[in-house]
Amino acid sequence: MKKRFIAVAVATAFISANTLAVEPGYRGFFDYGYMVGTGDFESSTLNEITTSHGYQICPQLFVGAGAGVHLYKFNGDDGIHYNLPVFGNVRYDILETKFTPFIDVKGGYSVAGEFTGAYVSPSVGCRMAVSSRVGINLSAGYTYMKTGYEYVKSGKDLNMTGINIRLGIDF
C-alpha cells in the first residue's frame, strides 16, 4: 500500500511539473521557415519570416491573424523574388504539457510582390514550453500559393507549392 501511494505521488508530481498549459489571452508567434519547391517550382527554395497575433481561447485553441515576407529563388534563375502574404491563423495544441504536438493552419492571400494570390500553409509540429508564456516551436508542413502567373508554353497557371520546415517562438 505504501509503495502504491509513493508511486501515485511521484507520478502526480511529475505530471504537474511537466504541465505548462498556455493560458487564455493574447498570444503571439514569430517564425522562420525554409521551403523546397515541388510541382511547377520543383527545386526552387523559399525563405519566410512570419508573425501571427491573436487570442488563446482555451489552453488548446488559438485564433489570430498574421503577415509574412517570402523571399524565393527559382531553379535556374539568379534573381531573388518576394511576396507578402496576409493570413488568418488557427492552431490547436493537443496536450497541456511541456512538450506538446500541435496542428497549425494559415490561410489568406499574398497581397504584394511579384506574384499575388491565395495562400494556404498547414503544418504539424511540437512545442517545447520554456515557461508558462514562452515556447519554442518546430514544425513541418506544406505550402500552396496561387501565383496568377501563366506559363506561356503550356498556357496553364503555375502554382508555388512545397514542403517546409519552421522554427519559431511563441509568447
Residue 10 has pLDDT above 60, yes or no: no
Query: Over the stretch 27-68, which tens digit does the pLDDT of each residue have?
Result: 999 999 999 999 877 888 999 999 999 999 999 999 999 999
Cα separation, 166 vs 47, in Å, equals 10
DSSP 3-state assignment of 57?
Answer: coil
φ/ψ of 83, rounded to 5, equals: -150, 165
The whole-model pTM stands at: 0.82
Compute the average pLDDT of residues 136-144: 97
E strands along the chain, which residues?
25-38, 45-56, 61-73, 81-93, 99-113, 117-129, 135-151, 156-170
Q: Are 164 and 142 in contact (CB under 8 A)?
A: yes
Cell representation of residue 136: 519554442
pLDDT for the residue 43? 80
Cell representation of residue 7: 508511486
Cα separation, 30 vs 168, in Å, equals 6
| Higher per-residue confidence, 42 vs 123 | 123
CA–CA–CA angle 86, 99, 52 (5° rounding):
15
Q: Are 163 and 132 in contact (CB under 8 A)?
A: no
Compute the average pLDDT of residues 117-143: 96
Query: Over the stretch 150-170, which tens digit does the pLDDT of each residue have?
Result: 655 556 677 889 999 999 999
pLDDT for the residue 53? 98
Cα separation, 7 vs 163, in Å, equals 44
